Structure 1
């Protein structure tokens, strides 16, 4: 159904152009920050995560491709943390018109199988509180809450 292909430099730059403002919008929906503050925080986080750009050790960024047509349907970003034999799932992005067709589920299954074969013991992730679709997907896939952050705007 799907396959993964490494993101190239052009695709990486396009992803950053999308990811920084998109992440900032999620921050403003979920936390008491202005869009300007959220953009600054998002840019700092992304730049820190990709210190050496696409060549940053430990960061894995892949296109999600329909196997039968080679059409791109999304993107997967994760890292492996060898010190604790774990992985961290940063982002699964399925194109809006491709959502609800099983690509998110298949991507997680493929990632889990790949990591299991490599001897990785667990995958961590975070979900913004207002991202109900992602939360439902992760719960369906067997992920459980390990901590809950809460905030009240005064």
Structure 2
């Protein structure tokens, strides 16, 4: 596995990977309407382009060198808060689950966080998403929860999780 820095030419690939992973991850949690709304707003070309132009926001593509396929992506923002990186997005397509890619991707993130000078990673996870257990297994803990209005009558009901990353 290797992580490849994404550029604007990768936006269609990120959109495809998001759609494929979301259809699996959120099928039992979100309505089709909410999933469509979130994918078309949060993963619009304009939104992704804006992220990629922000020097603190980074996207990496998860590439499986054995199968020669892109299996997911990582999106995070250094200095989101003081000494804090926000993990905005980490998604893997269903057929790549169980290969250790998620763990390796979070280990990669930890190194990037240390390089940036931050020492804390935060993320939001849907209260009904089984990924919460995965994050806990990787050293994240719940520090709060919240319900966030995302527009069009939809909300995200999330746990807020954090992990302290030791300096280099």
- TMscore range, shorter length: 0.7 to 0.9
Provide the C-alpha distance between the structure 1 equivalents of 2:5 and 2:94, rounded to a whole number of angstroms: 21
Deviations 1:33-65 (A, max 9, x none): 781x66445544455854636323322111112
Moved over 6 A (4+): none
Q: Spell out the pairing of 1:97-108 with structure 2 (5 A cutoff).
A: 97-108=95-106
| 1:18, distance to aligned residue in structure 2 (A) | 5.5
| Pair 149,53 (structure 1): closer, same or farther in 2 beyond 3 Å | closer
RMSD, aligned α-carbons: 3.3
Provide the C-alpha distance between the structure 1 equivalents of 2:18 and 2:70, rounded to a whole number of angstroms: 17
Structure 2 partner of 1:136:
133
| Pair 96,34 (structure 1): closer, same or farther in 2 beyond 3 Å | closer
| Pair 54,3 (structure 1): closer, same or farther in 2 beyond 3 Å | same
By percentage of residues, which structure has more strand?
A: 2
Structure 2 partner of 1:16:
15
Q: Does residue 75 of the first structure (1) align with residue 73 of the second (2)?
A: yes
By percentage of residues, which structure has more helix?
A: 1
| Pair 74,42 (structure 1): closer, same or farther in 2 beyond 3 Å | closer
Provide the C-alpha distance between the structure 1 equivalents of 2:90 and 2:49, rounded to a whole number of angstroms: 21
Count of matched residue positions in the alignment of Structure 1 and Structure 2: 145
Contact 1:62-1:76 at 8 Å conserved across structures: yes
From 93, 98, 108, the equivalent of 1:95 is 93
TM-score, scaled relative to structure 2 = 0.67
Q: Is the partner of 1:115 in helix, strand or coil?
A: helix
Unmatched runs of 5 consecutive residues or more in structure 2: 148-156, 158-168
